[in-house]
Every structure is written in structure tokens, then in C-alpha cells.
């Protein structure tokens, strides 16, 4: 078992408080003599002393722990964000408790409660997004909270977001410019800010180009690969098959690719595809994917900075920071003749 401050005090023949002050670098402020300080430091080193963070956290009411609640860490988009967050957090002295909700609201609530009882100093939350009731208590306590990627209308917190509307608008506009008229969108979880903004972007791009919105081409119910697979399967067998697909997450894209592959169709010859979330392998797919790329690292970085600032100042000033996505045109959209 690790050495405690008591062990050091004993061995150095001083009191607990003196040891505490020395190991916390407050020797000067509390007028501890150089000799005593040196001795204590030596003993501490000999005993491999490392402060018990539980005791410290209990006393100081801060743990240098921050919670990260994330819908799916095996999703490369989230994995990259997580990496940057953990990186920067560690640099700033904080450790990360990571919780994966699997896009499940109840798990999200459970995880948040658990994190709070562990005494986290702050929370970065990428919410499932359908419900925000459970966040009210945090907001009221002005607990340091940063919402990332998805936000809520009715929650006044720090939010770091991507302009999903613009991303979708650009993507669909590009598809239209390439001559497509029947464009399907495979949505993620309806009701979440990301989904509804992407849907609005899709719709507005159609309207602006005088194309009508066909409800049959608006499908999808969640962000999982299965959703992408199922909806693509159905779309590809529809009587009036769309010529292009807009998949709104990388997992949906994965499922869509599987379905397209199974149907022995080739991108972009047989079906065009534009995806959201730029995955590392996008350039090397059988047809390099045209995608909307999100600034993952920046998102993580800003989230951590905002959070730690809120923790330190203990002022939470609600604000939405919106980052711009970027359309990366590769080769997954076929150019159709105007007559088509």
C-alpha cells in the first residue's frame, strides 16, 4: 500500500500539516525552514509518496476528473474527438472518465448520475439528443457542462457545434449540380439537433433548386450501421429508385455501402452517394467518397478549453460555438445529363 502523509511525518519527525504544506509547495508561504523542507522532500521521494487523490478530492471538493459521455466510441468520428479531448485534458491536468451510451437515453442518464457521484469537476456531453430534462439539475447548479456535437433548444449551456444545416445544404446542392433530381436522405435519430438541421439543409437545397420534397425519400431512424443498411436496401428496391443517397453519419454510410455492395451496384455509376463525417478510409473506397468533413479535433479542443475555463472560473456563460464543416468532393457522385 502506498505511503501516506502520516508515514512521511513519522519518519521525518514532523507533523502532518508540515508535510502537507511542503509536498504542496507551500513551504515558503508557511515559513517552513529549508532544512525541514529538504528532509521531508527526501523522505517523500524515498517512500515514493503520491498523494491520495480520493482524500484530496474529498477535502478540496475537486477531483481533476472530467466525465465524457459519448454515444458510440467505436464510431471513428467520436473516437477522434475523444482522442483529442483526452489529450488536451491530460495536458491540463485532468483525467477522463469515458462513458458510452450506445445512443441510449436511459444509459445516458445513468452514466451522468454515476459520474456526478464520482465527483467529476465537469462534464463533456455528446447527448443522445431526444430529451434534455435530465440536464436541468446540472444547469440550475451551474455545473460546468459542455454540450458537444448535438445541442438542445431549451438548454442554456455551453455548446460546441458544427453547422449541420450548412453542411447538408452544401452536400445536397452539390448532388443537384451534378444533375440529380431524386435524392434520398438517410437520417439519424429524428428529433436530435444534428438530424433535424441536416434535414433542413437537405430540404432547403431542394427547394432553392425548385425540386419538390418527396416524403418517400426521407428515411432513417438512427445513427447505426443497420439503419443505413436497411434503408438503403429498401430505397434500392423502390419503384422509382433515387439516383443519389445522402447518408448523414459514417455508420449509416457503412451500412449503405454494405447494401449497395450486396446489390452488386457500383458507385457512382449505378448510384451516387455523399456522406457526412469524413472517415479516414473515405479516399480509398472503391469509389472515393465525397463527404462533409467536420473539424473533429477542433471540436474536441474547444470543448475541453471551454469546460476547464468554466471549472476554474466557476462561471458558466451559456453560448453556442458553431464551426463550419467542409464539403470534400471526391468521386462518388455521377454527373447526369441535363435531359436525365
Partner DNA sequence: ATAGATTGCTCAATCGTTTGTTCATATTAT
Partner DNA sequence: ATAATATGAACAAACGATTGAGCAATCTAT
Please tell me the distance from the alpha carbon of residue 76 to that of residue 39, in angstroms, as a whole number.
51
Contacts within 8 Å (CB) and 24+ apart, 11-15: 11/43, 11/47, 12/36, 12/39, 12/40, 12/43, 14/39, 14/40
For residue 73, give every residue at least 6 positions away whose Cβ sits within 8 Å of its Cβ, in sequence order, or none.
79, 82, 98, 100
Q: What is the dihedral of CA 84, 89, 91, 93, to 10 degrees?
A: -170
Interface residue with DNA among 14, 69, 230, 257 (CB under 7 A) is 14
Q: Which of 9, 15, 2, 334 has the alpha carbon at shortest distance from 181?
A: 334
Asked if 59 touches DNA (CB under 7 A), the answer is yes
Asked if 186 touches DNA (CB under 7 A), the answer is no
Between residues 4 and 221, which has the closer beta carbon with respect to DNA? 4
Asked if 331 touches DNA (CB under 7 A), the answer is no
Asked if 58 touches DNA (CB under 7 A), the answer is yes
Asked if 13 touches DNA (CB under 7 A), the answer is yes
Q: Which residues bind a copy of itself (CB under 8 A)?
A: 1-2, 48, 50-55, 57-58, 63, 65, 72-74, 76, 79-80, 82-83, 86-87, 90, 95-100, 102, 111, 113-119, 137, 141, 225, 254, 257-258, 261, 279-281, 283-287
Select the span of 6-14, 284-292, 315-323, 332-340 touching DNA (CB under 7 A). Answer: 6-14
Q: Which does 31 bind (CB under 5 to 8 A by kind): a copy of itself, DNA, none?
A: DNA
Radius of gyration for the alpha carbons in the chain, expressed in angstroms and rounded: 26
Q: Least Å distance between CB 127 and a copy of itself?
A: 17
Asked if 189 touches DNA (CB under 7 A), the answer is no
Please state whether the peptide bond connecting residue 47 to the residue before it is cis, i.e. omega within 30 degrees of 0. Answer: no
Please tell me the distance from the alpha carbon of residue 98 to that of residue 85, in angstroms, as a whole number.
11
Asked if 11 touches DNA (CB under 7 A), the answer is no
Between residues 17 and 136, which has the closer beta carbon with respect to DNA? 17
Pairing of strands 290-293, 122-125: unpaired
Q: Least Å distance between CB 54 and DNA?
A: 7
Interface residue with DNA among 5, 146, 251, 307 (CB under 7 A) is 5
Please state whether the peptide bond connecting residue 128 to the residue before it is cis, i.e. omega within 30 degrees of 0. Answer: no
| Partner residues linked to 67 by β-bridges | 97, 123
* Positions in the binding site for DNA (CB under 7 A): 1, 4-6, 13-18, 20-21, 23-24, 26, 30-33, 35-36, 49, 51-52, 54-56, 58-61
Amino acid at each position: 500500500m502506498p505511503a501516506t502523509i502520516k508515514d512521511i511525518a513519522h519518519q521525518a519527525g514532523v507533523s502532518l500539516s508540515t508535510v502537507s504544506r511542503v509536498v504542496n509547495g507551500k513551504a515558503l508561504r508557511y515559513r517552513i525552514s529549508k532544512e525541514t523542507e529538504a528532509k521531508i522532500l527526501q523522505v517523500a521521494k524515498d517512500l515514493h509518496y503520491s498523494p491520495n487523490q480520493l482524500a484530496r478530492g474529498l477535502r478540496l471538493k475537486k477531483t481533476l476528473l472530467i466525465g465524457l459521455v459519448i454515444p458510440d466510441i467505436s464510431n471513428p468520428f467520436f473516437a477522434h474527438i475523444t482522442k483529442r479531448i483526452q489529450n488536451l485534458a491530460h495536458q491540463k491536468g485532468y483525467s477522463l472518465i469515458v462513458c458510452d451510451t450506445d445512443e441510449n437515453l436511459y444509459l445516458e442518464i445513468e452514466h451522468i448520475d454515476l459520474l456526478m457521484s464520482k465527483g467529476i469537476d465537469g462534464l463533456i456531453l455528446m447527448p443522445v439528443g431526444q430529451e434534455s430534462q435530465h440536464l436541468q439539475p446540472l444547469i440550475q447548479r451551474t455545473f460546468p457542462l459542455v454540450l458537444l456535437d448535438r445541442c438542445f433548444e431549451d438548454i442554456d449551456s455551453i455548446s460546441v457545434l458544427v453547422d449541420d444545416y450548412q453542411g447538408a445544404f452544401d452536400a445536397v446542392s452539390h448532388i443537384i449540380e451534378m444533375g440529380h433530381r431524386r435524392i434520398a436522405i438517410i437520417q439519424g435519430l429524428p428529433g436530435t439537433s444534428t438530424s433535424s438541421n441536416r434535414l433542413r439543409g437537405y430540404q432547403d437545397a431542394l427547394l432553392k433548386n425548385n425540386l419538390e420534397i418527396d416524403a418517400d425519400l426521407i428515411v432513417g431512424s438512427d445513427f447505426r450501421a443497420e439503419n443505413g443498411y436497411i434503408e438503403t436496401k429498401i430505397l434500392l428496391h423502390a419503384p422509382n429508385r433515387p439516383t443519389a443517397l445522402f447518408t448523414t453519419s459514417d455508420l449509416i454510410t457503412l451500412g449503405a455501402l454494405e447494401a449497395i455492395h450486396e446489390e452488386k451496384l457500383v458507385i457512382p455509376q449505378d448510384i451516387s452517394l455523399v456522406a457526412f463525417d469524413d472517415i479516414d478510409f473515405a479516399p480509398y473506397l472503391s469509389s472515393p467518397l465525397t463527404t462533409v468533413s467536420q473539424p473533429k479535433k477542433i471540436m474536441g479542443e474547444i470543448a475541453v478549453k471551454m469546460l476547464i475555463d468554466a471549472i476554474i472560473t466557476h462561471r458558466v456563460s451559456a453560448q453556442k460555438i458553431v464551426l463550419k464543416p467542409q464539403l470534400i468532393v471526391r468521386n462518388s457522385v455521377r454527373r447526369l445529363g441535363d435531359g436525365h
